[in-house]
Amino acid sequence: MDFQEKDKKRYPLIKSFSFACQGILEAVRTERNIKIHFALTAIILFFGWFFSLNGMEWLFILAAIAGTIALELVNSAIERVVDLVTDQFHPLAKQAKDIAAGAVFIYAIFSIIVGLIIFLPKLGL
């Protein structure tokens, strides 16, 4: 396999990463909740650094952050697809949006619990 063949096989993967980054940037630009999640992420990362979290604590914090943001991105994508399919109220469209939002909500609650378990003892509580 020559260089050009290898380059052609890698290009689609690089392109897909580019599309993923474009999607994240578009969500940050247009979605209020994503902006909130990223702002809270910055605060949480600061406190993690300030309290010198150990490896296991960082693992749980990062999993909570990444999971919440990933689910929020999926929720935003579902909302856009539903809006693309219909501009009329439909009970199934509402259910799809509400269920996706519910998934984010459940994971956000999990993330809060993880944060409380890790940070409360560091605050002496």
In the chain, the amino acid numbered 16 is: S
98 is in an annotated binding site: yes
5 is in an annotated binding site: no
Tell which residue, 122, 124, 125, has the closest CA to residue 53.
122
111 within 8 A of 67, measured Cβ to Cβ:
yes
7 is in an annotated binding site: no
10 is in an annotated binding site: yes
Catalytic site residue 72?
yes
| End-to-end C-alpha distance for the chain, whole angstroms | 62
Which class for 73: exposed (0-12), middle (13-18), buried (19 or more C-beta within 10 A)? buried
Tell which residue, 124, 120, 119, has the closest CA to residue 47.
119
79 is in an annotated binding site: yes
Catalytic residue among 5, 26, 57, 72: 72
With tokens 């247009």, the residue in question is 30
Which residues define the annotated binding site for a divalent metal cation? 31, 79
Catalytic residue annotation: 72
Q: Binding site residues for substrate, as ranges?
A: 10, 72
